[in-house]
Structure 1
Amino acid sequence: MKRIFTAALAMGMVLSLGASALAAGSYSGSITVNGTAVDTASLPAAPAGATYVPLRTVAEADYGFADWYPEEGRSFFSLDANSIYVDCATGAIEVNDQTVSGMNAVFVQGVTYVPVGLFDRLEGYTATVNGADIAIATPNGEALTKLARQIIDTVGMGASIKQDAAGMESFYGIPADCFEEAIGFFPMMISADTVVIGKVAPGKMDAAKEALEAQRAATQQSFEQYLPGPLEVAKNGQVVTSGDYIMLILSSDNDTAIDLFQAGVQG
């Protein structure tokens, strides 16, 4: 669950780093995440001396989130599979349990700015700077991931646990060798909502269908003595194909999801 930074906490962070961290005016230049412009209109000007990026703004534009742990004096940012902690007293940055050397965050009016080079240290992320314009590419910009997220957003699904092919094999027993590429989004415990989209490896279509139907059946079984709503979603789940592509969909509106899938893999 997201917890929003309060004005008092934000001010405390700014004061802890001193008035030199403040900058007048508003953010200049532009930021795009996977080709989509990020709204920077309400942001304060970035610190001088380096190219800085508002970390929370980018995280939320990339399906991530920010949190604040007052007892630790640290803020937390989730960007896909990357976990970032920022010390609100020193600006020290920790990425995936490793302290980042030679790089610190700066706080401006409660906004956490980080050097743009941090994104090159995140798994699956790159950042390109062209004058005042910054283009950030992330794993969520990959075609199948974008399609899956479009389905999730349009249908209103509660699928939030992202797995690649290797992760789906490890956690759900879906063989990775069934696919040339694949992505899946799975539910928390109180939901059955699931979407898996993959490009099937040559000669593996029957195996892929069997594996995804087994996942649907396993989800159904997990709710048979539990919540009736998710049980119905799992019962009505479908495995559908289009050319070399396959999808498992468990949602409240499979017809819309299937239409989006078919249009997406044919485009």
Structure 2
Amino acid sequence: MKKMIVILLTMVLAMVVSACGVGKTSTDDKTTNIEPSKSAKEMTEQMLTEVEQPTLMELSAEEMQNLYNIDPAKLEDFSVRIPMMNVKSNEIAIFKVKDANDLAEVEAAVKTRAENVMKNFEQYLPDQYENAKNHKIVVKGNYVLFVISDQADELIKVYDSFFEKK
């Protein structure tokens, strides 16, 4: 009986935490019109050079579409890196939409991906589940950044530097 109460309370707490938006979405820069001089892939590579992460592999358009359910035709550019082995939850994705009207759809797909990663690790690896719960989504102009990392803030600082006026 005590186990059932603990499980029930844990589930309620998990729902409250997820409803409060643990995975922060920063949309205060949606109106920025500064374009980075780097491609999504170059930005991702520089982020990984400056902030060490587990080994991540680049996804093709087809693989990205399967994982994120985003139509590549709606994207002008993208770079998605996921772990080579399913023992880490770290992930970095940058999407540049062709049409600003598709931003909400891409952002929703990224949120769904975040939920799927959390579900994958919920019963599997508790430390990676916590990592996934603390994901970050940042929208700047026509770009959507998705980061799962214990160093997400450092990765976002590097990402933000691509949008600063020189």
TM-score (norm 2): 0.69
Higher RCO (C-alpha under 8 Å, 6+ residues apart)? 2
Match of 1:235 in 2: 133
Match of 2:14 in 1: none
2:79 aligned with 1:165, yes or no? Answer: no
Q: Residue 223 of structure 1 aligns to a residue in which SS?
A: helix
Match of 2:73 in 1: 177
How many equivalent residue pairs? 126
2:88 aligned with 1:191, yes or no? Answer: yes
Q: Give unpaired runs (5+ residues) of structure 1.
A: 1-141
Inter-partner Cα distance in structure 2 for 1:212 and 1:266: 24
Match of 1:254 in 2: 152
Match of 1:208 in 2: 106
Quick check: 2:93–2:146 contact (8 Å CA) kept in 1?
yes
Inter-partner Cα distance in structure 2 for 1:258 and 1:169: 24
The alignment yields a C-alpha RMSD, in angstroms, of 1.8
Runs of 4+ in 1 over 3 A off after TM superposition: none
Quick check: 1:144–1:183 contact (8 Å CA) kept in 2?
yes
Q: Give unpaired runs (5+ residues) of structure 2.
A: 1-37
Structure 1 pair 159/194, CA: closer, same or farther in 2 (3 Å)? farther
Match of 1:155 in 2: 51
Quick check: 1:174–1:215 contact (8 Å CA) kept in 2?
no
Shift of 1:171: 4.3
TM-score (norm 1): 0.44
- Quick one: which amino acid aligns to residue 254 of structure 1? A
Match of 1:264 in 2: 162
Structure 1 pair 159/196, CA: closer, same or farther in 2 (3 Å)? farther
What is the aligned counterpart of 2:40 among 130, 135, 144? 144
Structural mapping, 1:1-267, within 5 Å: 143-187=39-83, 188-202=85-99, 203-266=101-164
Which of 1 and 2 has greater Rg? 1
Quick check: 2:68–2:110 contact (8 Å CA) kept in 1?
no
Quick check: 1:181–1:199 contact (8 Å CA) kept in 2?
yes
